[in-house]
Chains A and B, each alone.
Chain A
């Protein structure tokens, strides 16, 4: 037995020596696609940095689970990974007290100008950047061109929301189909529209503004689309990520939907029958010269202060999500609109892939470059988390789903309730 053990040890030695040359880096995420992306980034990193080899260990947890584990491990000072994906609506939880994430400013300095600044700002506090974004999440209008054709609508003539509503009435009359669907249990129908108008759930200092005039007016606008003009319906299944909605939309149920760029992947994966029928345009403006998009959603990837190889982890993260090459791969592998806008007109972005085959747009990134300077940052803070909780759970259901409260009443209640917490 002893001899066998000794033999095994000798046999294992070279393997151990080899493994020791690589530094272990752990990464937690809640999205398997992200994990695959990081693994491929680690491969390129190792190819380019022979003296700083890493052995990336990605662990994928369910969304809530991962954020909980991370929160507890940072709170207790033990057990956190080197790198972690943190979803935007959870990010403020990690910016409380002595921040347990590492600022990335030193590595970001030379490349900061190539980013859509708003997307770095959302993961920052007091001038320090703690998270790197995957994408801009530019909100776009997705048009079903079969329905548009049947209704005789020219989508390039739609400039303002008033034009869009007029087109919607035409669509309803000619085809009997709703112009769009509006989420009642999630926020993607609402948030981009107020962000377009320079409003938000909170102001820069974190004061709750959910019941300001613009926000009330905009929720009333969505309400009226459903109950006054009758050109919209509450989203089947409650939100645009429900199985029910995918089936409904795939069958040509509604003429349009506005969602961020990253929603393209949902079309290609869950709505195969719309292939070749969809076209993407910027959102209509609210006023002449108004903004035509908004940056929505996101994942800020951060390095924790518990990392034993802090500098290496930071360098790898910036390589994976901040480099030009990384940005191009983010589009190619994940179908996201990378937050580094300097790659948007790179020829690599215009290569044929499943997205360019699916949508009618010749070059999706030309559409994006049009609206590059029309994207506001959203204010990410602890009150934002509370407001989102209230409106997703109550206001939208009451105003849009059940039509039991006016926009003003519901948003006022949400503001009061969020302030109490």
Chain B
């Protein structure tokens, strides 16, 4: 009887409601994070795991690390450069005009994000295969450009492929974010601006963009996470062995050290390094956008 009474007490209700989250957080987030931190100071082998102090941290800097950092940074910058403006433009277009047609278009844009990245990556790999008969090279040939060795050709082609796949995949998701952002902007502002003689571009720059700022901030923050944590796309294209590391990302490096070379301690260290990098970049970005300023003023 007693436990039931405890549960029925009004005061305990909130705890019961948050319990699933707390339990999930403790088991699936906190425990692994703590373990990762511990493992980053260890040499992890069956039955003989030992603490090695800062040895793993001393080994962080290597050629592979710089390659991964460069690829990760460039990929993140490029995906943000594409995946913020492009969805905004599409969102603005979809937010005006015929409602019913827009619903269809919205669904079409969103569809790719429901496709498994493995399936999509495999199809991309075939489309961009370096033979003359691959879809993309065949099209290039039609317009008089010689076939390109997409997968093995070099850093530029590799980055193009990865950003292309990301764009195809995430455009629809970001579009939804921006659409909901747009719908929160009161129609009156546009009407008032129009009466004051603002043209369509002025309305876009002076009303749409400033009022979308929170959404832009949100999208670019998750893009920093997503960009640095990218793994599957590169893995599908090159199976973990890209020529000259053109597709090596931080998570790819972590995977290589942990699973291909069986060094879980070093892999944990890279995991933490990745966390620090992403955290630092997000902070810098939020500061530049004045996120904290606004917070303190409101408070």
What is the interface of chain A, defined by CB distance below 8 A to chain B?
A: 64, 67-68, 71, 74-75, 77, 90, 92-94, 96-100, 184-185, 237-238, 243-244, 247, 382, 385-386, 389, 392-394, 397-398, 401-402, 413, 417, 420-421
Q: Do residues A93 and B262 form an inter-chain contact, with CB atoms below 8 A? A: yes
Q: Is B113 an interface residue (CB 8 A)?
A: no
In the complex, the chain A residue whose C-beta lies closest to that of B154 is A402
Q: Do residues A393 and B264 form an inter-chain contact, with CB atoms below 8 A? A: no
Q: Do residues A393 and B243 form an inter-chain contact, with CB atoms below 8 A? A: yes
Known contacts A100-B46, A237-B130, A244-B130: A71-B262 contact under CB 8 Å: yes
Q: Is B138 an interface residue (CB 8 A)?
A: no
Q: Do residues B46 and A385 form an inter-chain contact, with CB atoms below 8 A? A: no
Q: Which of A74, A90, A413, A420 contacts B59 (CB 8 A)?
A: A420
Q: Which of B129, B130, B266 contacts A421 (CB 8 A)?
A: B266
Q: Do residues B261 and A96 form an inter-chain contact, with CB atoms below 8 A? A: no
Q: Do residues A75 and B44 form an inter-chain contact, with CB atoms below 8 A? A: yes
In the docked arrangement, what's the CA distance between A401 and B46, Å? 40
Q: 4 closest Cβ contacts across the A-B interface?
A: A97-B45, A98-B47, A93-B262, A97-B48
Q: Mark B239-266, 1 if CB is under 8 A from A, else 0.
A: 1111111000000000011011111101
Q: Do residues A67 and B257 form an inter-chain contact, with CB atoms below 8 A? A: no
Q: Is B286 an interface residue (CB 8 A)?
A: no
Q: Which of A75, A397, A421 contacts B46 (CB 8 A)?
A: A75
Q: Which of B46, B152, B257 contacts A97 (CB 8 A)?
A: B46
In the docked arrangement, what's the CA distance between A417 and B63, Å? 7
Known contacts A98-B48, A413-B63: A393-B261 contact under CB 8 Å: no
Known contacts A67-B259, A385-B261: A421-B241 contact under CB 8 Å: no
Give the number of chain B interface residues (Cβ < 8 Å).
31
In the docked arrangement, what's the CA distance between A401 and B151, Å? 13
Q: Do residues B47 and A420 form an inter-chain contact, with CB atoms below 8 A? A: no
CB of A33 to closest CB in B, whole Å: 20
Q: Do residues B241 and A98 form an inter-chain contact, with CB atoms below 8 A? A: no
Q: Do residues A421 and B47 form an inter-chain contact, with CB atoms below 8 A? A: no
CB of B262 to closest CB in A, whole Å: 3
The secondary structure that dominates the A interface is helix
In the docked arrangement, what's the CA distance between A417 and B61, Å? 10
Q: Do residues A93 and B44 form an inter-chain contact, with CB atoms below 8 A? A: no
Q: Which of B62, B239, B243, B245 contacts A420 (CB 8 A)?
A: B62
A-B contact count (CB 8 A): 87
Cβ contacts under 8 Å, B259 to chain A: 64, 67-68, 71
Q: Do residues A244 and B244 form an inter-chain contact, with CB atoms below 8 A? A: no
Q: Is B232 an interface residue (CB 8 A)?
A: no
Q: Is B131 an interface residue (CB 8 A)?
A: yes
In the docked arrangement, what's the CA distance between A238 and B238, Å? 11
Known contacts A97-B48, A238-B152, A420-B62: A393-B242 contact under CB 8 Å: yes
Q: Is B122 an interface residue (CB 8 A)?
A: no
In the docked arrangement, what's the CA distance between A71 and B263, Å? 10
CB of A80 to closest CB in B, whole Å: 11
Q: Which of B64, B241, B245 contacts A185 (CB 8 A)?
A: B241
In the complex, the chain B residue whose C-beta lies closest to that of A413 is B63
Cβ contacts under 8 Å, A401 to chain B: 152, 243
Cβ contacts under 8 Å, B48 to chain A: 97-98
Q: Mark B261-281, 1 if CB is under 8 A from A, else 0.
A: 111101000000000000000
Known contacts A244-B129, A420-B62: A393-B45 contact under CB 8 Å: no
Q: Is B49 an interface residue (CB 8 A)?
A: yes
In the docked arrangement, what's the CA distance between A92 and B121, Å? 31
In the docked arrangement, what's the CA distance between A384 and B141, Å? 43
CB of A329 to closest CB in B, whole Å: 31
In the docked arrangement, what's the CA distance between A283 and B223, Å? 53
Cβ contacts under 8 Å, B244 to chain A: 393-394, 397-398, 402
Cβ contacts under 8 Å, A244 to chain B: 129-131
Cβ contacts under 8 Å, B241 to chain A: 185, 392-393
Cβ contacts under 8 Å, A92 to chain B: 262
In the complex, the chain A residue whose C-beta lies closest to that of B44 is A75
In the complex, the chain A residue whose C-beta lies closest to that of B129 is A244
CB of B44 to closest CB in A, whole Å: 7
Q: Do residues A382 and B243 form an inter-chain contact, with CB atoms below 8 A? A: no
In the complex, the chain A residue whose C-beta lies closest to that of B239 is A64
- A–B pairs, 11, beta carbons within 8 Å: A93-B262, A96-B45, A97-B49, A184-B243, A237-B152, A385-B262, A393-B245, A394-B244, A398-B244, A417-B64, A420-B63
Q: Do residues A397 and B243 form an inter-chain contact, with CB atoms below 8 A? A: yes
CB of A340 to closest CB in B, whole Å: 30
Q: Do residues A421 and B59 form an inter-chain contact, with CB atoms below 8 A? A: yes
In the docked arrangement, what's the CA distance between A92 and B260, Å? 10
Q: Do residues A394 and B245 form an inter-chain contact, with CB atoms below 8 A? A: yes
Cβ contacts under 8 Å, B263 to chain A: 421
Cβ contacts under 8 Å, A386 to chain B: 261
CB of A404 to closest CB in B, whole Å: 9
Known contacts A398-B244, A417-B62: A93-B261 contact under CB 8 Å: yes
Q: Do residues B245 and A389 form an inter-chain contact, with CB atoms below 8 A? A: no
In the docked arrangement, what's the CA distance between A421 and B256, Å? 11
CB of B65 to closest CB in A, whole Å: 9
Q: A64-B240, A74-B46, A393-B245 are in contact. List 18 more A-B contacts (CB 8 A).
A: A75-B45, A93-B261, A94-B262, A97-B45, A97-B46, A98-B45, A98-B47, A100-B47, A185-B152, A185-B241, A238-B243, A243-B129, A247-B131, A382-B262, A389-B261, A394-B63, A420-B59, A421-B257
